[in-house]
């Protein structure tokens, strides 16, 4: 299917690996000119045809600089994919063990960074009658499934997308949310990531946790979701083929969430 994206422009945050890199790859394959933003952009971004831009979005001033550089590079902006997130390491303890600083860091990275980038990009997106996709988590719907600051921040992000769609729909801007379940990324697979930390807290080998994760989370498939699968959904939602879809939260979690 031709997604009618050839020649369009996009900014993808959190683009250096995992879901973000897969989104950059998928958009570029459709003929989109892409700026891939990351704290430390690697050669992988250039290899898939993106323009790499270094941006540490934990710095509140970085969002404006990033959008300005994106508009300079691309001459306009049709698509924004807010994928930046994470920061869930060191959060395997319970609620009473978490400090204000930990809450602030996680909420800032998983929610407020997207607020700031979106605010900076919206004038250009409104001119282009463009599309925004925010990457949340199915943990927003099942908040007991991960560290409480992380799932709370993702719930805020999901609500943000719906409110933004309502306000800017009349201006031609579509806003959707994609909420993955466990995805085969460093968050779960890295020996220094959240998955390894959780396995240690549970007293089980890390590979066993990964192998048992689909069943333990109620997934109806016997594997983790692949980044390319999430990227395919995001790419479709940014396209004119999805022109009637806005204000929606799209689960891609192998059936883990059972509610409607």
pLDDT for 67 equals 98
The pTM (predicted TM-score) of the whole model is 0.95
Closest CA to 250 of 174, 187, 188, 170: 174
- The DSSP symbol for 226 reads P
pLDDT for 231 equals 98
Is residue 191 one of the residues assigned to a domain?
no
Domain that holds residue 94: 9-183+226-252
Q: What is the pLDDT of residues 9-65, one digit of tens each?
A: 999 999 999 999 999 999 999 999 999 999 999 999 999 999 999 999 999 999 999
Residue 236 appears among annotated catalytic residues: no
Q: What is the pLDDT of residues 127-154, one digit of tens each?
A: 999 999 999 999 999 988 778 999 999 9
Our count of domains for the chain comes to 1
Q: Which of 150, 160, 168, 236 is catalytic?
A: 150
Is residue 148 one of the residues assigned to a domain?
yes
CATH label of the domain that carries residue 171: 3.40.50.720
Q: What is the pLDDT of residues 174-194, one digit of tens each?
A: 999 999 999 999 889 989 888
Is residue 119 one of the residues assigned to a domain?
yes
Is residue 216 one of the residues assigned to a domain?
no
Is residue 47 one of the residues assigned to a domain?
yes
CA distance 79 to 175: 10
């Amino acid at each position: 299917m031709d997604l009618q994206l050839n020649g369009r422009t996009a900014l993808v945050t959190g683009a250096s690996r995992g879901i973000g890199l897969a989104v950059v790859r998928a958009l570029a394959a459709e003929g989109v000119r892409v700026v891939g933003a990351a704290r430390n952009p690697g050669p992988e971004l250039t290899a898939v045809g993106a323009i790499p831009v270094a941006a540490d979005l934990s710095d509140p001033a970085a969002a404006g600089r990033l959008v300005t550089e994106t508009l300079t590079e691309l001459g306009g902006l049709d698509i924004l994919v807010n994928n930046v997130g994470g920061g869930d390491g060191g959060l395997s303890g319970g609620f009473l063990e978490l400090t204000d600083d930990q809450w602030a860091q996680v909420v800032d990275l998983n929610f407020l960074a997207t607020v700031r980038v979106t605010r900076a990009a919206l004038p250009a997106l409104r001119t282009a009658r463009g599309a925004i996709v925010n990457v949340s988590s199915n943990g927003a719907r099942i908040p007991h499934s991960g560290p409480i600051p992380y799932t709370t921040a993702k719930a805020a992000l999901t609500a943000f997308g719906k409110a933004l769609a309502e306000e800017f729909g009349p201006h031609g801007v579509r806003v959707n949310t994609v909420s993955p379940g466990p995805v085969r990324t460093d968050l779960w697979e890295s020996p220094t990531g959240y998955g390894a930390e959780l396995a240690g807290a549970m007293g089980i080998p890390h590979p066993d946790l990964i192998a048992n994760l689909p069943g333990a989370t109620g997934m109806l498939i016997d594997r983790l979701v692949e980044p390319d699968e999430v990227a395919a959904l995001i790419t479709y939602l940014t396209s004119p083929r999805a022109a009637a879809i806005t204000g929606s939260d799209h689960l891609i979690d192998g059936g883990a969430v059972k509610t409607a």
